[in-house]
Structure 1
Amino acid sequence: TGIGMTPEQQQRIFEPFSQVDASTTRKFGGTGLGLAITRQFTRMLGGDTSVESEYSVGSTFTVRVPAELPPDALRRTVMPSARDEEDDDDDDASPASLPTVLVVDSEPAQCDSVREYLAGYGYRVASTTLTDDCVELARSLNPDVIVLDVMNSGEVNGWDVLSALKRDDRLAAIPVVVQTKFTEGEKAHAIGASEYVSKPLDRAQLFGSIARTRARLPPSDGERRALIVEDEAATREILTRMLRRDGWQVRVAENGRVGLERVAEETPSLILLDLMMPEMDGFGVLAAMHGEPATRDIPVVVVTGQTLTAAEMERLNRGVVSVLGKGLYSLEETLAHLDAALERQRKLSSDAQRLVRLAMAYLHEHYAEPLTRADIARHVGLDEDYLTYCFRQELGVTPIAYLNRYRVNQAKSLLTQTDKSVTFIAQEVGFTDSRYFSRIFRREVGVSPDAFRRA
């Protein structure tokens, strides 16, 4: 609907009193408050409001709120200041049963403000200023969520506290909501924060962030349940053995249709999904899951041997936590990706993740060409160093390391399916130096190209 917006206008459309056309002759009226209020309400409910727009064509606004929240996640439906006094008499929940939030802030007044706000919604709140004892206090409390201010100039650095929390085996799984500058959100995710909110603090935004982190927690029984949707029996068996050795409960499906039946029978913690399958492919599964509120938030890791184009990568940007190429990752690396997906540890923003996947598609299509890091960065419009940072966060490797792995994987197929020479195959997959190719091949596979062919 509407007249559409430029990217710059989209950045500020949710600000109070903001209008695309502020002139006295504008066609569409309004005060510019509606969208700001809508976003605030949806965030209070643990959701969000977003926009997609094309200038002079129109805009699509999407409101998403959880179909269900944990029973204790939202104990009040009005703001604390508007509660009736008799509400306090109705609160029959024992304090021990309430979720606990630890607030760590550099300003005592801010600690008190956040504590009062969250307590009004049924949370038990402990608060402390940034000191050397923060981590020890977290160990003793074992809270459900930690709210941490890292924008401080005192003796104790908030970023160091976040790092210490994520290094501690007892505390690493506790979700942390970080208060920081908008520009440092990526850094917060990289260190391990589940969510971040910008300062000055929007309390409704903070509440929404806490509600989302609690909604993402794994089942209370602690079980990790994986569903493998894969048509190749050998791949199903390899993935099943790998996951069971790591303590997962595993169910399998040989195509997308059966996979959706398995999901309806029992909701998995995580889905490993192939794309090329009979009856219903992986894209069909993703579309069906996204259309159902009960399944759209199940984390999905795509494991595929298919060469994905930019358009296909774009289709995976909604609902897919990771895209792993078959044969490109060790068992340990694959398990690390799955654990991160299960914990919903999105390390990059959706825009940065989209650009990484666009770069992956570019490499899939041009791997046989003499590519440099600068070529890849130029294609997606990123600084070279930032591109490398994004690749490390999303895939665990640099762009060139990913390119070499992909080339080696293509070479393995040529070595087993053709009698072409190693030198010819090296050039065929993008290596100009056959000796360098052999060195990279041995490092990735463990044997030389000739030995691999003989085996």
Structure 2
Amino acid sequence: QELQSDILNVYKSGEHLMYMINDLLDLSRAEIGALNLYFEAIQPAPFLKEVFNGVHQSEPANPHVRWEMEVPDDLPAIRADIVRLRQVLTNLLVNARKFTSRGVIRLGAEVEPPYLHLWVEDTGTGIPLELQEKIFEPFGSVNRKRRPEGIGLGLSITRHLVALHDGLLTLESQPGVGSTFHVYLPLPGVSRPVVRQENSSAKSILLVVSSREQIPSGILRLCQRRGLSARQIRGLSDLSAMLAEGAPQAIAWDLHGSCWRDWQIIQQLSKQQDWTALPVILFDGGEEETSDQGGQITNILFKPVSGNTILEWVSQMAPGEEDQQPILIVDDDESARKYYQKLLERRYPGRRILLASNGRVALEILENEAPAFILLDLMMPEVDGFTVLDEVRRNPRTQNIPVLVCSGKLLTFEDIGRINGLKAGLVTKGILDDEELMRIFEQEVECEPAVPSHTSEVVRRALAFIHQNFHHPISRKEIAEAVCVSENYLSQIFRNEMHMTPWDYLSRLRIVKAKEMLSHSNESITEVAIRVGFNDSAYFTRVFTKIVGMSPRVFRQSTRKMVSP
């Protein structure tokens, strides 16, 4: 029995150490913008009940503490990373348990447009005002007199995770009374993310899109709780009258028995500038709605979603519609445009491919088209790719279109600063072969969830460092130190996003630049090798032959023959 007790203690210590290591890793990734979340649309009510029961049942029984829930069944669907949201709620509930010896621990939820409001309330020791911000700092603690049960990372990570959901985390606390942590998660917008307006001119109206004779009781209860008046529309004719009255506070879409007429209404709303960021509440009353149960949230299984707008969500319920959207290629090099066009037509026969010879032409096309995917060069006359990307992300109609920047420009840290925050993939011309490039195109066009939809800031900074230093003898360690991460972590995320290691990328970039010099200069092969970062010309020849399929000498001879009269 003593041996079993010792083994159990070792197991618990190991488990505790694993949690601390995971917390440290999560915090370091969050602080450098490298903590990727994978969003999906979820039904909050069953999820919240599952998390609450899991934490409650795993905690030691305390007869002096009651565990209560105030979670309505008719909560609307939200967009969240289910693993990370579980981590947020678990951290808050476990934290409440640590500081509550008697009284109550309560998990609550309520719709408060433009948010779904969650809260964890306790009657614990409370937190003095001067410490209420400090507890969100790494390694922060309220009570230094008691032995800590962790290392003070839980609330710091929780704040980061809520922020990555575009949400808010606030605290109300009073010593001797207790604490309440409030989590506000944004509801989906119509065609762009919702924006909170403290002094909104919107009327106290909830616009209800429903084909039923009666507004579902769940929606009516919501109106009663929030002091809203429900205004139902069943078709475009009703919508016209509503538009003339001005924007409401939110839109409730009754999905039970909904049809494409309802979808047309939503599409019309997306074209109204003042309506695009209105929160949308999804309801499904079911076949037999009772006064006790009210409207239930629809039980639709969404694939992972990259944006928090209702247009993106509903497009997933209409597979095949995106196949009709064209693909836009923006590059001032005609041979590059033809090359990309050939690759895409081979993979997507019959798909419309739009071609733009510069940024100005691209922006003109985007006034009338909404492509499924944009392939964008950076260095172009008249209007460059930086400007195009900025305009695409600024426009609510185009801001969620996947963009892949494919440029031969050697990026600087200033260039990276211009791209950061604009959500675009990034590849270098000449680095990938046809098959590798086609895989990247497929992930962008088909929105594969396994790969992040944009290159992370850490990888971009690594690319900039390589671009500015490829002609020097640099190591993987120097690249990692330049972007302030470990070598192993850099290799992991670089491979995930660029489909090769940093060293493979460096070698390929050097060979791309060597090919340019061999084609356009008379420098010797040894001089070319040194100028692109190789100290050994024999090693350079081996790497060049492996990547290009011929030696540097044969390559130079072949290019000279091609340009000779």
Q: TM-score if structure 1 supplies the norm length?
A: 0.61
Contact 1:347 1:393 in 2 (8 A): no
The CA distance in 2 between the partners of 1:290 and 1:235, in whole Å, is: 24
SS at match of 1:40: strand
Asked if residue 321 in structure 1 is aligned to residue 421 in structure 2, the reply is no
Question: Which one of 222, 239, 242 corresponds to residue 323 of structure 2?
Answer: 222
The CA distance in 1 between the partners of 2:400 and 2:323, in whole Å, is: 18
Contact 2:423 2:453 in 1 (8 A): no
**Residue matched to 2:519:** 416
Asked if residue 434 in structure 1 is aligned to residue 537 in structure 2, the reply is yes
Measured against aligned partners, the alpha-carbon deviations of 1:39-92 in whole angstroms (never above 9, x if no partner) come to 4244587976899xxxxxxxxx9xxxxxxxxx99xxx999769358999xx969
For 2:334, the aligned partner's letter is: A
SS at match of 1:293: coil
The CA distance in 2 between the partners of 1:236 and 1:453, in whole Å, is: 25
Contact 2:518 2:552 in 1 (8 A): yes
Identify unmatched segments of 5+ residues in structure 2. 1-132, 139-155, 199-208, 225-229, 235-253, 264-282, 287-294, 559-565
Contact 2:413 2:461 in 1 (8 A): yes
Contact 2:423 2:455 in 1 (8 A): no
Question: Which one of 368, 379, 403 corresponds to residue 276 of structure 1?
Answer: 379
Cα 1:259–1:84 change in 2 (3 A) is closer
**Residue matched to 1:363:** 466
Measured against aligned partners, the alpha-carbon deviations of 1:307-331 in whole angstroms (never above 9, x if no partner) come to 1111212222233431111111111
For 1:232, the aligned partner's letter is: D
The CA distance in 2 between the partners of 1:351 and 1:262, in whole Å, is: 23
Quote how far apart the aligned CAs of 1:285 are. 0.9
**Residue matched to 2:393:** 290
Cα 1:92–1:330 change in 2 (3 A) is closer
Quote how far apart the aligned CAs of 1:342 are. 2.1
For 1:18, the aligned partner's letter is: L
**Residue matched to 2:42:** none
Question: Which one of 221, 237, 249 corresponds to residue 82 of structure 1?
Answer: 221
The CA distance in 2 between the partners of 1:242 and 1:7, in whole Å, is: 50
Q: TM-score if structure 2 supplies the norm length?
A: 0.50
For 2:364, the aligned partner's letter is: E
User: Higher relative contact order at CA 8 Å, sep ≥6: structure 1 or structure 2?
Assistant: 2
For 1:425, the aligned partner's letter is: V
Question: Which one of 554, 557, 561 corresponds to residue 451 of structure 1?
Answer: 554
Measured against aligned partners, the alpha-carbon deviations of 1:12-55 in whole angstroms (never above 9, x if no partner) come to 78664438xx999xxxxxx998xx56x4244587976899xxxx
Identify unmatched segments of 5+ residues in structure 1. 25-30, 52-60, 62-70, 100-115, 126-143, 146-174, 177-193, 196-206
For 1:228, the aligned partner's letter is: I
Q: For residues 109-128 of structure 1, what are the structure 2 equivalents within 5 Å?
A: 120=295, 123-125=298-300
CA RMSD of the aligned region, Å? 4.4
Question: Which one of 153, 160, 185 corresponds to residue 40 of structure 1?
Answer: 185
Contact 2:519 2:556 in 1 (8 A): yes
Contact 1:226 1:268 in 2 (8 A): yes
The CA distance in 2 between the partners of 1:396 and 1:244, in whole Å, is: 23
Cα 1:328–1:351 change in 2 (3 A) is closer
Quote how far apart the aligned CAs of 1:244 are. 0.9
Question: Which one of 246, 264, 280 corresponds to residue 347 of structure 2?
Answer: 246
**Residue matched to 1:151:** none
SS at match of 1:18: strand
Contact 1:414 1:425 in 2 (8 A): yes
Q: For residues 23-422 of structure 1, what are the structure 2 equivalents within 5 Å?
A: 39-42=184-187, 82=221, 93-94=256-257, 120=295, 123-125=298-300, 145=302, 175-176=303-304, 214=314, 220=321, 222-223=323-324, 225-247=326-348, 248-345=351-448, 353-422=456-525
The CA distance in 2 between the partners of 1:77 and 1:298, in whole Å, is: 35
Measured against aligned partners, the alpha-carbon deviations of 1:149-195 in whole angstroms (never above 9, x if no partner) come to xxxxxxxxxxxxxxxxxxxxxxxxxx24xxxxxxxxxxxxxxxxx57
The CA distance in 1 between the partners of 2:325 and 2:412, in whole Å, is: 32
For 1:440, the aligned partner's letter is: V
The CA distance in 1 between the partners of 2:354 and 2:454, in whole Å, is: 33
Question: Which one of 18, 30, 33 corresponds to residue 171 of structure 2?
Answer: 18
The CA distance in 1 between the partners of 2:137 and 2:530, in whole Å, is: 43
For 1:299, the aligned partner's letter is: P
Quote how far apart the aligned CAs of 1:383 are. 1.4
Cα 1:32–1:291 change in 2 (3 A) is farther
The CA distance in 2 between the partners of 1:350 and 1:451, in whole Å, is: 39
The CA distance in 1 between the partners of 2:285 and 2:537, in whole Å, is: 63
**Residue matched to 1:157:** none
Measured against aligned partners, the alpha-carbon deviations of 1:102-147 in whole angstroms (never above 9, x if no partner) come to xxxxxxxxxxxxxx9997566345xxxxxxxxxxxxxxxxxx52xx
Aligned length: 329
Cα 1:92–1:275 change in 2 (3 A) is closer
Cα 1:375–1:251 change in 2 (3 A) is same
Contact 1:271 1:298 in 2 (8 A): yes
Cα 1:214–1:251 change in 2 (3 A) is same
Contact 1:218 1:269 in 2 (8 A): no
SS at match of 2:378: coil
SS at match of 1:307: coil
The CA distance in 1 between the partners of 2:439 and 2:534, in whole Å, is: 30
Quote how far apart the aligned CAs of 1:428 are. 1.0
For 1:225, the aligned partner's letter is: P
The CA distance in 2 between the partners of 1:446 and 1:306, in whole Å, is: 24
The CA distance in 1 between the partners of 2:314 and 2:449, in whole Å, is: 15
Contact 1:227 1:270 in 2 (8 A): yes
The CA distance in 2 between the partners of 1:219 and 1:238, in whole Å, is: 26
Contact 1:231 1:254 in 2 (8 A): yes
Contact 2:402 2:453 in 1 (8 A): no
